[in-house]
Amino acid sequence: MDKSTLIKKIEEGKFTTEQLLGWVKCLPGNSLAKKPTEYRVGDVLMHPVFQHPYVLLEQGRGHWVAGLLTTEETCEEILCEAQSRFFPGNHFTRIIFTVKEPTGTFLNVFENPKQLREVLAALRKTFAAKGEGHRLSEPTPETPKTETPKTETDGKDHETH
């Protein structure tokens, strides 16, 4: 969350003291001067579009798998509460996405690697269609070729991939 988003939330007035403290603690502060030379699993950044912090969960081939954090306790997509001294009142969500290069303001490091592994395992369980050991960052096998019926316009067979 950035300063302007926080101001809008305060103006709306629909928050608890705990939520407000969580939002303020997530604001970029001294960490603006700190930017890692390379990113690692557990780094937390503020997403420039979603305006929520996200955690780098796994590095794939040419991209990162990231999970979104929220302080909204009523969010239907909450997976579990974040167990971090740097992100109190935050929750991991079932919202995952990939980024080629991490973008946004670096906030801090999620210092609980055990929970990161548990969150990644829970997300795999939720999304995996291929069984145990399926990595979220690996591409799925190629879709087999299927034939489409002839079209009325050209009468030719077309293959799709």
Give the CATH number of the domain where residue 80 resides: 2.30.30.110
Q: Please report whether residue 65 resides in a domain.
A: yes
Q: Please report whether residue 75 resides in a domain.
A: yes
Contact criterion met (CB below 8 Å) for 109 and 44: yes
Helix, strand, coil % in the chain, rounded to nearest 5: 25, 25, 50
* pLDDT tens sequence across 110-156: 999 999 999 999 998 887 754 555 555 554 454 344 444 444 544 45
* pLDDT tens sequence across 9-57: 888 888 888 888 777 777 766 444 578 889 999 999 999 898 899 999 9
Burial class (CB in 10 A: 0-12, 13-18, 19+), 144: exposed
Q: Please report whether residue 72 resides in a domain.
A: yes
Q: Please report whether residue 31 resides in a domain.
A: yes
Structural domain of 94:
3-130
Q: Please report whether residue 30 resides in a domain.
A: yes
Q: Please report whether residue 106 resides in a domain.
A: yes
What would the mean pLDDT of 100-108 be, rounded to a whole number?
A: 92
Q: Please report whether residue 100 resides in a domain.
A: yes
Pairing of strands 53-59, 43-46: antiparallel
What is the value of pTM for the model shown? 0.64
> How many domains, the chain?
1
Q: Please report whether residue 122 resides in a domain.
A: yes
